[in-house]
Amino acid sequence: MQQTNAAPLRLTAREQDMLDGRDGEAVALAMRLVTGVARAVAAERLLEVASAHVDGCLYHGRAGLDLAERLVALGGRVAVRTTSNVGSLDLMHPGLVRTTEDTAPARRLMEAYLALGCEPTWSCAPYQAGHRPEPGSHVAWAESNAIAFVNSVLGARTDRYGDFIDIAAAVCGRVPDAGLHRDAARRAGLVLDFSAIPRALLAEDVTWPVIGALLGDRVGTRVAALTGLPGDLGDGGRTEDRLKALGATAASTGGVALFHVVGATPEAPTLEAVAAAGAPVVEVTTADLRAARDRLSTASGDRLDAVSLGTPHFSVSEFAALADLLEGGPAFSPGVDVWVSTGRRVLEDATARGYVAPLLAAGGRVLTDTCTYVTSVLRPGTGTVMTNSGKWAWYAPGNLGVDPVLGSLAECVSSARAGKVVRDERLWR
Amino acid sequence: MSGCGADLVGESLHPGVARGPLLVLVEPVSFWGGVDATGVIVDARHPQRGTSLAGRVVAMRAGRGSSSASAVLAEQIRSGHAPAALLLGERDTVLLLGALVAAELYDARLPVVLIGESDFAALDGGEVEVRAGDPPTPATVRRAGGDPR
């Protein structure tokens, strides 16, 4: 017989008032959802959060819209700083996303989240839009790459939040004291050692989503410590971009919500700081990485229809690297559509620095507020798409019915110019 | 089976009373992408592809896949294509949230019950009745029709 061993959930007097409607019906509804989840995970108390990032603004059907509009009708407002993830539409560039029967409710959904007080970041990378919680602070973040990033790279604490609980936590400012909010759950149960990987391979940007694919595949939802990897989060964006790509891919192929790169990420100055003595160590080989890379490409031959960059959303430093590659070179082949997905804030900053003009001059296009893998942007009939994103490559066959090829940023540019897939295989042998 | 006059006792994760034919999933299924709007399993890799979950007491060992499964379940509850009840082998907050939100928005109560591994293994088929109180009180799953096992 199943026993209920947990101590009951205890609310503070303040929280009980919120649940009883003292702060209005929207807060009471949000508290019913948060306490409902807290009881189900056997949490003994709630935690206050410093910020939230909500993913519910991507349209999946009427229930999500009904909840957002109910909260608005009840006078709901977010209680903490709350950024919005991508929606289903590009509000800045109408016409890039094809209109469907879901366009009108998708727009209503995005408007409801604004009415609740969410910032119109419409980005899966709020950490590139100035939303960077303090290390050790508790937050309620949704969207798998954002969760992995805020936990691993910023060292703030979120559990895996998703639709409904994200906005509920934002409105009442509370989450269950459970999961990755707790110290013990943040320790690594195993170690992946990359000491045997050639440094030249680790210097390539494309290697990092591949490491993520391998990590997700090996650990599933567990927390791992990664050793033998270079990294300095103070290097002006390069390491941050790499870990963004690693985490996004690991969250897709596995369910990774936290990883530690020893010597680089904030909770892991040393291996001992994050892993128990005697934690199993897996030695990763170049052959392992090659196999992980191969799983992210389903296309064969060199045909190329499109290039998609910016999943998660392109950063200012990635725009700078792209501008460098495009400098003085030829335009993209007319047969290849080149898309870069990014957030509004990054687009503004990168444009002001002159990093976006070379992309547009070469024939590329920028998509904001949404992403090429969740909405109707690629032209019908698109078959093979090259991307520098492991996450895009993982989801594209199922979501879009296209065949991806993973490549470095430089390979994506060379291929877009040549009108066919061009990859350098030498480093992977 | 367990005592208390019931066939099986679990922990209530979400309250409600429901009755329907028991369907044990041999593998977890993702409600987002794996089950269509009418409740039919469409995941090509799932061994029970083509089976409908609608109106059944669905037992699954674990949730699977995207957190957007919450929204899919809530939508199925709204449109009348959801399972009658869920018996879970693990504490899954994604599906629970679908039930919580549907209760708020549509006043529809889909009981969600956590059951133990040995009880899960003993599940077969037939018509069952699920009674789940306010969490974390016990919930009962009885074979319906006065035929105690």
pLDDT digits (tens, 9 = 90+) for A294-310: 999 999 899 999 999 99
Asked if residues A185 and A179 have their Cβ atoms less than 8 Å apart, the reply is yes
**Residue B146: pLDDT above 70?**
no
**Residue B11: pLDDT above 60?**
yes
Give the A window 15-74 contacts with B, CB below 8 Å: 29, 32-33, 36-37, 39-42, 55-56, 58, 60-64, 66-67, 70
The CATH superfamily label for domain B11-121 reads Phosphohistidine domain (3.50.30.10)
A207-243 tens-digit pLDDT: 999 999 999 999 998 999 999 999 999 999 999 999 9
B91 with A42: Cβ contact below 8 A: yes
Q: How confident is the model at residue A248 (pLDDT cuts 50, 70, 90)?
A: very high
* Average pLDDT of chain B to the nearest whole number: 89
Indicate the pTM of the whole model: 0.94
List the one residue out of A388, A378, A427 whose CA is nearest residue A411: A388
The answer to whether residue A108 neighbours chain B at the CB level (below 8 Å) is no
- Give residue A24's identity as a one-letter amino acid code: G
pLDDT attached to residue B92: 86
What separation in angstroms does the CA of A414 have from each of A113, A335, A360, A396, A411? 40, 14, 16, 21, 5
A351-395 tens-digit pLDDT: 999 999 999 999 999 999 999 888 889 999 999 999 999 999 998
Hey, how many other C-beta atoms are within 10 angstroms of the C-beta on B57?
A: 27
Higher pLDDT, residue B48 or B121: B48
A42 with B67: Cβ contact below 8 A: no
A20-33 tens-digit pLDDT: 999 999 999 999 99
The answer to whether residue A142 neighbours chain B at the CB level (below 8 Å) is yes
Give the A window 363-392 contacts with B, CB below 8 Å: none
- For chain B, the domains span 11-121
pLDDT attached to residue B44: 80
Asked if residues B28 and B62 have their Cβ atoms less than 8 Å apart, the reply is yes
Give CA–CA dist A233/A212, Å, rounded. Answer: 17
**Residue B16: pLDDT above 90?**
yes
What separation in angstroms does the CA of A383 have from each of A337, A380, B127? 12, 9, 48
**Residue A283: pLDDT above 50?**
yes
Hey, how many other C-beta atoms are within 10 angstroms of the C-beta on A393?
A: 32
What separation in angstroms does the CA of B100 have from each of A75, A111, A192, B67, B109? 20, 24, 39, 14, 8
List the one residue out of B81, B141, B90 whose CA is nearest residue B111: B141
What is the predicted ipTM?
Answer: 0.89
Hey, how many other C-beta atoms are within 10 angstroms of the C-beta on A1?
A: 15
**Residue A346: pLDDT above 50?**
yes
The answer to whether residue B116 neighbours chain A at the CB level (below 8 Å) is yes
> Helices (H), strands (E): how many in chain B?
4, 7
pLDDT attached to residue A422: 96
Nearest 10 degrees: Cα torsion A285, A290, A295, A299: 180
pLDDT attached to residue A27: 98
Tell me which of A102-106, A179-183, A287-291 is least confident.
A102-106
**Residue B148: pLDDT above 50?**
no
B29-82 tens-digit pLDDT: 888 888 998 999 998 888 999 999 999 999 998 877 677 889 999 999 999 999
Give chain B's length: 149
List the one residue out of A427, A421, A371 whose CA is nearest residue A400: A371
pLDDT attached to residue A5: 52
β-pair partners for B22: B57
| Average of per-residue pLDDT across A311-338 | 97
